[in-house]
Structure 1
Amino acid sequence: MAKTTKKANPFYLTKEWRKKRQEILERDHYECQECKRQGKVTTRREQVLEVDHIKELNDYPGLAMENNNLQTLCKKHHNIKHGRYFKFRNKPKKPRSPLVNEEWFGN
């Protein structure tokens, strides 16, 4: 399990938040709203979905439970929004030596 440098905000453990989170997921039909804006459909079957505070909880605690400040995002878009996204899968492949290709295909 990965270690984190920040402790989880106790707000996210409250019964009220869990209920609100479920309400927002249902309102958004369990679809990432950013994917939807881009013309894609990403549901909970394809990705982990998170309920995001549009205006950050730390900066705007009074908006913590406001429906118009909450949106469903897939994990990828949530991480991008918070600057936590790193590309691991699409690393450029190392070019193969021409000699290897020639030997393989008998050229």
Structure 2
Amino acid sequence: MIDVSTRAARSLFYTSQAWRILREQALERDHYECVWCREEGKVTTENLEVDHIKELEFYPEFALDLDNLRTLCKECHNKRHGRFQFRKSKKMIEKNFRTDEFWG
């Protein structure tokens, strides 16, 4: 079985040739688009990541199982894992600019 018990071990796994080959197979199978976006009628073909449905850390026996993989865009992958990216929107930047002007 593949050792994924530590962050370092998982990092080694994700740089392995076996993972790179399988990752490419998952991307091809999913037509290089996010499967969650596709289910919502959207087409997302940028910032793609390959997600382990049964998480690698808890189910190492499925690490190299193509049926346990799906292509997600970065945004959907972050939602799936409860990670949030905070980017300043244009409105927020404009608001901060006006506030900075006011307060000098």
Provide TM-score, normalisation by structure 2.
0.73
**Whose radius of gyration is greater, 1 or 2?**
1
1:92, CA displacement in angstroms?
Answer: 6.2
Q: Secondary structure at the match of 1:24?
A: helix
Structure 1 equivalent of residue 20 of structure 2: 18
1:82, CA displacement in angstroms?
Answer: 1.3
Moved over 4 A (4+): 89-94
Q: Which moved more, 1:74-83 or 1:52-61?
A: 74-83
Q: Which moved more, 1:78-87 or 1:31-40?
A: 78-87
Structure 2 unmatched ranges of 5 or more: 1-6, 99-104
Structural RMSD (CA): 2.2
1:88, CA displacement in angstroms?
Answer: 2.2
**More helix per residue: 1 or 2?**
2
* Count of matched residue positions in the alignment of Structure 1 and Structure 2: 89
Structure 2 equivalent of residue 79 of structure 1: 78
1:91, CA displacement in angstroms?
Answer: 7.7
Structure 1 unmatched ranges of 5 or more: 1-5, 97-107
